[in-house]
Structure 1
Amino acid sequence: MKICTVETFFVHIPLQKPFVTALRTVHNMQSIVVKITADDGSNGWGKAVPTHVITGDSLGGIRYVIDHIFTPLLIGQDVRNREKIFEQMQRAVTGNTSAKAAVDMALYDLFGQLCMMPLHHVLGGYRNCLKTNMTVSVGTPSAMANEAAEYVAKGFTTLKVKVGTGSLIEERERLLQIRQRIGSNVTIRLDANQGWKPKEAIRIIRQLEEDGCAVEFVEQPVAAHDIAGLREVTRNTTTLIMADESLFSFEDAKNVLALRAVDVLNIKLMKSGGIREALKINALAESYGVNCMMGSMLESSIGVTAAAHVAASQPNILYIDLDAPLLVANEFPTSGVMYQKSLMKFTQQPGLGFDSKRMITWVKEHECE
């Protein structure tokens, strides 16, 4: 199976409502869709989203790297030699993890089709179903409590609550109101998106522990570069602490794991550079006895489907944060993963499981120049 063409498309999709975190407010989802066509007519699909405040990638940069740096490397290559291809991509450009992830997804999609198996079976086949949390955006305590109650009424039993924008009093009030509205049987996770200083994080987390808010873990409480601060928070609280923005590469994982700076790692394909690197990070974490979460940026089904296949293939990935397609106003309806409330179920189609004819139609409907 040799690569014949590589095409990129700029796609724009509105969100159902603004998505607010400590880092940014987003109204629309913009992304670059990649279609790689092989000599047997098969299409592999990938997608990259520009998350400037996290990855530093832009739409123009992603598209340029794929069109002008990766495409000349890819044409004529055999998909079966994917390790050679990935090695060449890594050497060709530094960083640019989102562009690398999009091409990586498409190559794995083609390889799954070549194997005539769903990708999660090719990668390990540990699960056939996942259960995702649902994310509550930053807002007033009452607005966040209402949003949380809305998601619980829709069948979600785990919520990831965005925090990191307020004082101890404000953050505490948000959590107390949410917990009061949804009861004690719903799992709450917090994501501060680097919003606190280390001492502030320790003070807030300890207060929530004393309040009995029963938080499962706190994601990235301090600045991404502050690994010493991250370790200080981990050592001085009983709640699990997770690295997100502090973790991009395998080398980052080696650093935070060797220092015992966190309890859990959040792997995202846009940060790691794709499936290949995500699997390496997870294997390293497993060797340290550290579990992982599979997350995503604010992206739609293509990227999230690839992440879901990785998560389903690995026993060490215990936590799932793949709700992003549920936030989109007009999401693509057919993919290798289908949502039933909080459950994500896989079809038995090979690769990522996309219907290419419908995918092409959907891309054309949402394409921008």
Structure 2
Amino acid sequence: MIIKDITVKHQTVPLLVPFKTALRTATEIDSISVEIQLENGIKGKGAASPTYVITGDSLEGIQAALQGPIKLALIGEDIRQFQKLLKKIQSCCIHNSSAKAAADIALHDAYTKFLNIPLYAFLGDKQPISTCMTISVDTPEKMAEDAQKSAADGFDILKVKVGSIPELDLERIKHIRSVIPDHVKLRLDANQGWTPKQAVQLINEMETLNFGIELVEQPVPAHDWEGLKFVTERVNVPIMADESLFSAKDALRLVSGRYVDLLNIKLMKCGGINEARKIASIAEANGVACMIGSMMEPSLSVGAAAHLAAAHPNITYFDLDAPLWLSTELDVLKYSGQEVFLSDLPGIGEITVPISK
């Protein structure tokens, strides 16, 4: 079954509210979609979004990679040579992880539609999945207000963006903790914003204050692996790598060297579902659990990540709230509070019932 055509489109999607982290503020996202068409009419869809401060990928670069070397590598090939095609996507150009992720997702969608099964079935399971809700970095008062609303909406895990002035970050968490129920857990995402010593001092203080911190994500700069290990060895709260993790090779080094306690897998960083599965399995073999995460990206790519999350036994943490920030209608996922539901149609599928927001 030959790949007949590949098309690429760009769309700008406004966010319902600004998304703020220590690295950037976003009010809209650029969504690049790719469609792989087979000779029998089956169409596989994938998507990506550029995030300069994390992947380094630009809108123009993603489009150029998809319309150039990736398209050239796939046109005329047989979808039944699936593993060969996944390798061709990764080897046809260097870097460009977001473009590779979009093509990888589209290939998985086309292949599982060809097999007439949902993506999660091809990947191996359908465990229940949920999501935390992200609290953007802001004043302590505004973050407490947002956290209180999210807790009232049924989210019992909040991912709190921090990573600027440690003293201000402590005030943010104090304000949030004072207005949310005791059972609501907090995940802190510093987005590389602290030094190792700042991270240790701040995390230890929050442990003493019993703030209910479930984990701390990427407390130090991505390149500072020794800094990650310094923090991991000196606090009780689990430390998770995010921006330090881009590939299965990174995962092997991180877990074998005990640099962190947990890994955050994102398709846009690692180049798609195939590499993400490798990361999760490498971590599993080393006794390290994984989160499936998302950046500000289209619901289609988050949906692909959700199928993987439902299928892999070592993915036990979920951060899939990005589509809830988008002004467009969701098409492949359904949310009910913090619960996330997948389509049972072939491929990534489509949700055809009303969606709770």
* TM bracket, shorter-chain basis: over 0.9
Q: Which amino acid aligns with 2:149?
A: E
Deviation at 1:347, TM superposition (A): 2.0
Q: Structure 2 CA distance, aligned partners of 1:339 and 1:34?
A: 25
Alignment of 1:184-195 (within 5 A): 184-195=182-193
Alignment of 1:212-251 (within 5 A): 212-251=210-249
Q: Structure 2 CA distance, aligned partners of 1:87 and 1:185?
A: 45
Alignment of 1:26-105 (within 5 A): 26-105=26-105
Alignment of 1:258-273 (within 5 A): 258-273=256-271
Report what 1:25 is aligned to.
25
Report what 2:142 is aligned to.
143
CA separation of 1:250 and 1:192: change in aligned 2, threshold 3 A: same
Deviation at 1:195, TM superposition (A): 0.2
Q: Say whether the 8 Å CA contact 2:2–2:79 is kept in structure 1.
A: yes
Deviations 1:144-173 (A, max 9, x none): 000001111111111100000122x21111
Deviations 1:82-127 (A, max 9, x none): 2111222222111100000000000000111122111011101141
* Structure 1, gaps ≥5 residues long: 357-369
Report what 2:296 is aligned to.
298
Deviations 1:155-210 (A, max 9, x none): 1111100000122x211111111011002111110000000000000000001001
Deviation at 1:303, TM superposition (A): 0.5
State the identity as a percent: 46
Report what 1:340 is aligned to.
336
Q: Which amino acid aligns with 2:221?
A: A
User: Given the two structures, how large is their TM-score scaled by the length of structure 1?
Assistant: 0.94
Deviates more, 1:253-262 or 1:57-66: 253-262
Correspondence for 1:206 among 199, 204, 207: 204
Q: Say whether the 8 Å CA contact 2:48–2:298 is kept in structure 1.
A: no
Q: Secondary structure at the match of 1:339?
A: strand
Q: Which amino acid aligns with 1:233?
A: V
Q: Say whether the 8 Å CA contact 2:343–2:350 is kept in structure 1.
A: no
Q: Which amino acid aligns with 1:324?
A: A
Report what 2:355 is aligned to.
none
Alignment of 1:113-124 (within 5 A): 113-124=113-124
CA separation of 1:355 and 1:294: change in aligned 2, threshold 3 A: closer
Q: Which amino acid aligns with 2:290?
A: C
Q: Structure 1 CA distance, aligned partners of 2:232 and 2:94?
A: 31
Q: Secondary structure at the match of 1:79?
A: coil
CA RMSD of aligned residues (A): 1.2
Q: Say whether the 8 Å CA contact 2:89–2:103 is kept in structure 1.
A: no
Q: How many residues align?
A: 352
Q: Structure 2 CA distance, aligned partners of 1:296 and 1:29?
A: 13
Deviation at 1:252, TM superposition (A): 0.7
Q: Structure 1 CA distance, aligned partners of 2:235 and 2:151?
A: 28
Report what 2:156 is aligned to.
157
Q: Say whether the 8 Å CA contact 1:267–1:293 is kept in structure 2.
A: yes
Report what 1:308 is aligned to.
306
Q: Say whether the 8 Å CA contact 2:192–2:218 is kept in structure 1.
A: yes
Q: Say whether the 8 Å CA contact 2:5–2:75 is kept in structure 1.
A: yes
Deviates more, 1:206-215 or 1:81-90: 81-90
Q: Structure 2 CA distance, aligned partners of 1:289 and 1:229?
A: 21
Deviation at 1:217, TM superposition (A): 0.1
Deviation at 1:355, TM superposition (A): 7.9
Q: Say whether the 8 Å CA contact 1:158–1:188 is kept in structure 2.
A: yes
Q: Secondary structure at the match of 1:80?
A: coil
Q: Which amino acid aligns with 1:135?
A: T
Deviates more, 1:340-349 or 1:144-153: 340-349
Q: Structure 1 CA distance, aligned partners of 2:101 and 2:331?
A: 21
Q: Structure 2 CA distance, aligned partners of 1:294 and 1:39?
A: 33
Q: Secondary structure at the match of 2:160?
A: strand
Q: Say whether the 8 Å CA contact 1:126–1:315 is kept in structure 2.
A: no
Deviations 1:308-358 (A, max 9, x none): 0000001110000000000112x23332x21112111122101100389xx
* Structure 2, gaps ≥5 residues long: 353-357
Q: Which runs of 4+ in 1 moved over 3 A?
A: none
Q: Structure 2 CA distance, aligned partners of 1:300 and 1:63?
A: 15
Q: Say whether the 8 Å CA contact 2:62–2:99 is kept in structure 1.
A: yes
